[in-house]
């Protein structure tokens, strides 16, 4: 099993993260993505904003020292949420679950919330393994699919 770690995102990570976040299959599965995943200017502006935002913790995920994704916590309307993105070639290896556990160790506030496309069973499984429970569903517009789809809402009240 790979050694999973989190570290600060550095400028030299941005090209690789941009490429990961425009993988067509990963974008389709994630569903709720940037309006245009190929827009590098928008990506750079978003990353610059979140890398300096005080209520955002954004980290690179490494597996055996190799950059394989990113993970973040952020605050929306007073609620702390988490999100992550893993290189598709590393799906199914437990990396997202381990990375989420590492991030949740650093987040002191509870509850923590998450949301994912309801048909993204892999992500739901990661969240449930981490102690999140499904609290409901919501219909929202998914840029990646150019349509409204069902999104599953999850909540973590205790430790991961």
pLDDT (0 to 100) of residue 71 = 98
Mean predicted confidence (pLDDT) in 45-53: 94
pTM recorded for the entire structure = 0.94
Percent of the chain residues past pLDDT 90, beyond the cut:
96
The pLDDT confidence band at residue 159, using thresholds 50, 70 and 90, is confident
Write phi, then psi, for 99 (nearest 5 degrees): -60, -40
pLDDT (0 to 100) of residue 158 = 86
pLDDT (0 to 100) of residue 88 = 96
Mean predicted confidence (pLDDT) in 133-146: 96
* pLDDT greater than 70 at residue 114: yes
* pLDDT greater than 80 at residue 141: yes
pLDDT (0 to 100) of residue 160 = 62
Write phi, then psi, for 39 (nearest 5 degrees): -85, 95
How far apart are alpha carbons 99 and 101 in whole angstroms? Answer: 5
Residues across the chain:
160
118 Cβ contact list (under 8 Å, min separation 6): 124, 137, 149, 150, 151, 152
* pLDDT greater than 80 at residue 31: yes
Mean predicted confidence (pLDDT) in 88-115: 97
Q: Are 78 and 52 in contact (CB under 8 A)?
A: no
């Amino acid at each position: 099993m790979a050694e999973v770690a989190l570290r600060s995102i550095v400028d030299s990570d941005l090209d690789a993260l941009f490429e990961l976040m425009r993988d067509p299959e990963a974008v389709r599965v994630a569903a709720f993505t940037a309006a245009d995943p190929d827009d590098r200017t928008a990506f750079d502006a978003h990353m610059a904003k979140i890398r300096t935002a005080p209520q955002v913790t954004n980290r690179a995920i490494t597996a055996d020292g190799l950059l394989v994704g990113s993970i973040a916590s952020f605050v929306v309307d007073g609620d702390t949420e988490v999100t992550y993105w893993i290189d598709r070639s590393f799906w199914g290896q437990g990396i997202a679950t381990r990375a989420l556990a590492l991030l949740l160790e650093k987040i002191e506030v509870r509850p923590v919330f998450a949301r994912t496309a309801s048909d993204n069973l892999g992500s739901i499984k990661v969240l449930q393994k981490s102690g999140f429970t499904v609290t409901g569903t919501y219909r929202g517009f998914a840029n990646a699919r150019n349509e409204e789809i069902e999104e599953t809402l999850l909540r973590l009240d205790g430790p991961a």
